[in-house]
Amino acid sequence: MESKSASIQRKSTNILEKPLSKGRGEINLSTFAFLFSELVQYCQNRSSSVVDLQQKLASLGHHVGTRILDALYLRERGSKRELRLLQALIFVKTTVWKSCFGREADKLELSNDDEKTYYIIENESLVNKFIFVPKDKGSLNCAAFSGGIIEAVLNGLNFPCNVTVHWHKGTTYMIKFEESVLMREKSLESR
């Protein structure tokens, strides 16, 4: 009986006793590649279309994104949250990208004809590096997973948006913000 209660106690305190990860731990990229392959196959078997498959990958990315945000904030920024849209986007392009994929994304651009739309461009997306898309799934872009991460991070920062991925200059992530984000920006500007 005594040992049982000890084990229950250990269970409940275990994760809190562990020091917060420094986030610099590294693993063989191949291991991730094989795991990601499995993820893609699993989602593919349960999808009826390429769009469906990409949505499933995005929702897995979402799961990762919401969690990575908390870890990053505690570690890198002393819990100070970004208030301005551009700062948040730069944070994604640099800090988030670096900690997820080892380097910054290549470009951040504002759409010419819509002030709610931004693009993050990655010439060669890491998750596509080891996925060779067969011809019958021509439009499939597995970077939908990374798209899900971005969306979750921006939503978590209170910049609600929708992210889609496109094969353009490598991979282009199209980020469309909700109207409310723009309204808030304008009110912050006028202060």
Residue type at 180 in one-letter notation: S
Q: What are phi and psi of 127, to 5 degrees?
A: -70, -20
Contact 165, 141 (CB under 8 A): yes
Q: Which is nearer to other proteins, 39 or 90 (CB)?
A: 39
Rounded Cα–Cα distance for residues 54 and 135 (Å): 16
Rounded Cα–Cα distance for residues 62 and 148 (Å): 5
Q: Pick from 47, 99, 117, 164 the residue near other proteins by CB under 8 A.
A: 99
- Annotate each residue in 152-181 with x if it binds other proteins (CB under 8 A) or - if it does not, as one string: ---------------x--x-----------
Contact 156, 62 (CB under 8 A): no
Rounded Cα–Cα distance for residues 42 and 15 (Å): 29
Report the site for other proteins in 25-84 (rule: CB under 8 A).
25-42, 44, 46, 59-61, 63-64, 67-68, 71
Facing residues of 161 across strands? Answer: 177
Q: How many binding residues for other proteins (CB under 8 A)?
A: 53
Does position 88 interact with other proteins (CB under 8 A)? The reply is no
Q: Which is nearer to other proteins, 130 or 178 (CB)?
A: 130
Instruction: Provide the binding-site residues for other proteins, judged by CB under 8 A.
Output: 7-8, 10-11, 14-15, 21, 23, 25-42, 44, 46, 59-61, 63-64, 67-68, 71, 99-102, 124, 128-135, 137, 141, 167, 170
